[in-house]
Structure 1
Amino acid sequence: MRFLFRSLRARLMFAFLAVTIASVGTVTVVVFRSAEREVARYERLINQLEMTRMAHWLIGYYTARDTWDGIQPFVDEMAVMLGARIVLTDKAGRIVADTAQDPSEPRFSRTWPSRSLTLYPDVDPVGTLHVSAETTIQATFRRRLEASLEYFIWVAGALAIGVAILVSTVMTRPITAPIRELARCSRLAGAGDLTVRVKMPNESGELHELASAFNTMAAELETAATRRSHLAENTAHEFRTPLTNIRGYVEAIRDKVVPSDVAVPVLLEEVTLMSRLVDDLQDLALADAGALRFVVEEHDVASIVRHSVRAAEPAATAKGVRLATVGADQPILCFLDANRIAQVLHNLITNAVTSCRADDTVTVGLTADATDIEITVCDTGSGIPIEKQPFVFDRLYRGDPSRSRTTGGSGLGLPIAKHIIEGHDGTIELESHEGQGTRFIVRLPRRG
């Protein structure tokens, strides 16, 4: 039985049938009881009318003759017409007429089930009319009525159940079909096919929302899987290049092709780049896990900006790029992690210098109000194409694929910067026009 009702459609159909059967059963009980009450009321009215008519005739008979002699034939005729046993007693209680023809009929007594009516022509009674409690006609009528009601109720119940089966079959199909489709797509997604999508139901409602939620989840999982695959590929590539260089120089030292004093600085640079990449990956992993810790204290943001600009001056000077600051000459206090914010500024300024040509300018601006501070890093470099701007915060993404690790970094700086700024309840935004330059805007709350 449990196997039969494992499917949602079977359960819904069973629910329809259960409601229908319960409704038919309730209607049956109500109809039978109502019919019994109405028939009983009708019988009481008919019996009262019949008893009154017979009593009126019998009183007339007795008044005309002043005796009950010869009344038996008339009582027999009444019994035939009524279909009941009639007993007539005089005022002393003696039987003067009895229509019982069957010896098995019970003898008349005061306990005999009957309806009685005392006959009063005037003040004094002249007798009592006794009629059996249920006449033959009444019994026949009752049996026929009960049989008719039972027949119609069975027919109506069968029709109702048939209609319930038909309606439940029609109504449950559009309900369960999207759920079956969702289950199928879930199995495919669980097997690794993240391109699967659920066909959206035409009508709006919970099923439409469920299908939309699944499709959104599948799309996000597909995007995450794609990014994870690219991350693995790019990370392997980032490690492969320095490892290849290290291996080449080690073999060259072994074969005495390159002097050690020439190879060691190169090896140290490659190891430094690998260490930096490992540190970036560790920061990104901590950020993804929500475990990136911040030491938040009150600091002078203007001092952090000035220090970050000074740190970038050697690289900018070597490339012929001018560095400038705006609004960083007066102290501006803010609660933040100074090292992490300096890390963000270092990345933004380094990227700006890298994207610039000789004689271009990188400007770091700082403004503040009572609640927030805003740091901007603007350059007059080549800018970022509009089609690439949505991806600048993706991991291991480089706007210019031709850049090397030396000129383009690891591609992890901006994702880490985004995590750091959002960890301070701030925002980081990008504005860029190809050929005109790029502007990064960092907003941080001043509160602790």
Structure 2
Amino acid sequence: MNDLMNTVLGYVMPVYEIALAWIIDPANWVQFALLVVAYVAAVFITRKLNPRLIKALTPAADSQTALSKARRFVLIFMPLVLPLLAFALTAIGEQVTRSVFGAGEVIAFGKRVFLFLAVRAFVRDMLSDPLLKLIGKTVLIPLAAVYALGFLDPVILWLGATTVPLGNMSFSLLGLLRFAVVATIMFWLGRWSNDQSSALIEKQDMPPATRQLAVKAAEIAIFGAAFLVAMNIAGVPLTSLAVLTGALGVGIGFGLQKIASNFVSGVILLLEGQATVGDYVELDGGEAGTIVKMTARAAILETFDGKWIVVPNEDFIVTRVINYSDSGSANRYEVTFSVSYDTDINLIPGIIEPAVSALDFVLDAPHKPDVELDNFGDSGIDFIVEFWVEGIDDGQFKYRSHVRFAVWNALKDAGIEIPFPQRVLHVKGGLPVGAPE
């Protein structure tokens, strides 16, 4: 028991002596006091400054100018004002204590804690993407915590000495972590830049196909540049990606033929404008609907009943597609009807054509409604009324139903009978004896 107590005291006494020396050292008390003063001053300044900054940086709700967007971007960084201001004030205090007492370990620790709080606020309040937030929580915050505790240098040495072999290439754990940190920041900035560029391109006066191609090109350029910058900063040699690029090319050549074909077909569609968002198309297989979205791989059609059909881009190139051009084009439709044989058919065009022309969706150009004699049917005389509308009859009788109502009402008002199927039976040899007449 005595030996155990002596061993414990051998460990405790040095710690006790260090703690006692630290407590009775006036320089440490001054550093702690400056640390508290710096934090209190940062809180006071932030409470006074933040409302004024928010008021000055908040643009009008309907303003979409470049300056307004820049001001909204700056507002995103408001959660960092308090910890960064405390960090700056603490750094000034550290310079004072080191010049006066020649020591500043306590206030330097507080400065690192404030930087840790800034990193935590960045991950918690500024990162909205789930993947970026996960990287921030698993990489950025632990690194900031290690730095705050003062163990960053030995941890960096250990991470740099630990390598992960990957075929002919090898990466250190430090390089992987550096890449994750840089990629988190670069791709967050890339996402914001992509949103801004997409909104700017959408406002330009250009064909929809060209606009979508410009959006996709800007997205590829922004994230491609972010990836290259992240690889360069992380210290990953780009020449080492040659093997990966070659393997990817082989994979596309053998296993990803359809994906590559659909991607190229999508680019062709965007360039030529054969089909774009807003067009009503009918495919060779019978699928029909309005194109509501075009991606790098497929187009999404929305049918009249709200169903979505995913159609590979290749189908628009290699098969027959009927494009009704729903975006601002006139289309002709027809409705059939019949009248009885007792009707003066010469009166029909003068009755039906004005009734159909009175409908607000029927156009006078390129042609006014036209009534044509179609056939002499079994029960009546068949007519067709042709009319032009702006858009597509993409629903079940979207326009035809209104036209049929107009035809019915016009014929009823004119006293013209709409026939129904009738049959006349001739019995050879007369009726059987005793049969009722």
TM-score normalized with structure 2 length: 0.23
Q: Which has the larger radius of gyration?
A: 1
Question: Which one has more relative contact order, counting CA pairs under 8 Å at least 6 apart?
Answer: 1
TM-score normalized with structure 1 length: 0.23
